[in-house]
C-alpha cells in the first residue's frame, strides 16, 4: 500500500508538503538538505534518496553532503552517549 491509496490522507499531505517546501525564509536547497538529515534520523532510505537527489539538483555539493552526513553521525552518536549516561547508574 501507498499513501496515494488513501486520497483523503494523501491530498492533505501533498498540499502541506508543497507549502513547506516552497520558497520562504529558508531556500529550497537548505530545506531539502534538512530533509536529508531528518530522513537519516528517521531511518527512511527512500526519503534520503529522494531528498538527496532534490538537494543535488538545487546545487548541494559533495562537500556539503559530507558535512551533512557528519552532523547526522555526531547527533546520532550523542544520542547513544546520552542514553548510556542516563542508564549507567
Quick one: pLDDT at residue 54? 98
List, for residues 25-57, the tens digit of each pLDDT value. 999 999 999 999 999 999 999 999 999 999 999
Residue 13 lies in a domain: no
Quick one: pLDDT at residue 42? 92
Looking at the structure of the chain, the number of domains it has is: 1
C-alpha cell at 40: 537519516
Residues of the domain holding 62: 27-87
Residue 11 lies in a domain: no
Taking alpha carbons only, the member of 65, 17, 18 closest to residue 40 is: 65
Residue 21 lies in a domain: no
List, for residues 62-86, the tens digit of each pLDDT value. 999 999 999 999 998 888 888 888 8
Residue 8 lies in a domain: no
Taking alpha carbons only, the member of 53, 82, 77, 47 closest to residue 65 is: 53
Residue 12 lies in a domain: no
Residue 74 lies in a domain: yes
pLDDT band at 8 (very low <50, low <70, confident <90, very high): confident
Residue 47 lies in a domain: yes
Amino acid at each position: 500500500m501507498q499513501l496515494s491509496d488513501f486520497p483523503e490522507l494523501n491530498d492533505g499531505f501533498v498540499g502541506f508538503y508543497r507549502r513547506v517546501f516552497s520558497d520562504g525564509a529558508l531556500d529550497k536547497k537548505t530545506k531539502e538538505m534538512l530533509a536529508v538529515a531528518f530522513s537519516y534520523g528517521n531511518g527512511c532510505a527512500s526519503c534520503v534518496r529522494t531528498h538527496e537527489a532534490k538537494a543535488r539538483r538545487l546545487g548541494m555539493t559533495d562537500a556539503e553532503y559530507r558535512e551533512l552526513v557528519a552532523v547526522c553521525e555526531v547527533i546520532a552518536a550523542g544520542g547513544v552517549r546520552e542514553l548510556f549516561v542516563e542508564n549507567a547508574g
